Structure 1
Amino acid sequence: MQTVLAIFLAVGAAASAPAAKQAPARESYGLAGGQEKVGCVMTHRKITRFPVPVTIVRPGPVYEESPPLRGQVVSALSKPCERLEDADVDPNEPASKSYAVRLDKGSWQEGVWSGIAVFSGVVPGSLRACNSREGLHYTVWKGKPLRSALLWHAYEMLGYEAEPGGPTGCKDQDYAE
């Protein structure tokens, strides 16, 4: 699934990105979360014109294979939405910005959701999510996850203790900065 996802992102980027320079990884991705059809995204991308299309991917091994969510970034927020108030995007970077997201009709699901927001013209990469003791780590890798350069990292605190380890547990490379 991860290889297929990397190819999906690479093809999408090539088709939608102008021949000029692409945005750096920290501006190409964001952490998204919400409930049903509304939510927010935290990113280092500066957005001044709305709406902006976004694809939200829930990568493995934490999440089972599921279609990406599609939506629109519709406005700036003064702080993250409740779903992401205990989250952090690229902790070693300056503070991220928060934006409201509305999922497209037919794309949303019941209940809460979260994942990696992928903007148009992204730097191609492989996406991964893993669980640690109290939350989820989302990462983007230049090539094969855990074996290539880490391009982007975000953390979402779950608010309760989870059981780390097993096939969905994080490895040391997931925390490397």
Structure 2
Amino acid sequence: MATLGDPTPRQRRSLFLRTGLRALVTAMLLVVLYYVLPMKSVLDTHTVLLLVLCLAVFVAVLAWRIRGITRSHYPGLRAIETLAVAVPLYILAFAATYFLTEQADGSYFTQPMTRTGALYFSVTVFSTVGFGDIAPKTDAARLVVTAQMLLDLLLLGFGVRVFVSAVNLGRQRRAQDKPDDSAHAG
């Protein structure tokens, strides 16, 4: 029999479904925004500062969400929701940078960058696949790609460890908050 704080199997399925749906809708919304928002700016100091600001906001939101994971009743689900926002946002920030770079000067990459091409390139760099069909040609482009590769390593290595630790901490807190059922028996 479920205790007062435990969801029934039906409630649990509903919670999983809502979490998955929110994660999917959020990721889809971010991709749609990437395609519809105007990006006509040239790559200059303002654009680079905008990327740095976006990455700073990304880190702040991620820290806030990780704290939320540790305090959640369902830390695993909260982690899934957070990843569904963080990973697409991260990939799309670099895709926008690559696209804007291409808009500023078509000589930065070996192929012209459409929004889809920039997204594709960002995903191949993130996933470490690197097919080689698109490559940076200038030092400036190579520096941005190098920054993404280094941040990818941090996100994939350190980031995964932080998420797993946050979920475990959240589960430990939840277990401590539950009343001891053995005290009520007998």
Q: Structure 1 length normalisation: TM-score?
A: 0.26
Larger gyration radius, structure 1 or structure 2: 2
Q: Which has the higher strand share?
A: 1
Q: Structure 2 length normalisation: TM-score?
A: 0.25
Q: Which has the higher helix share?
A: 2
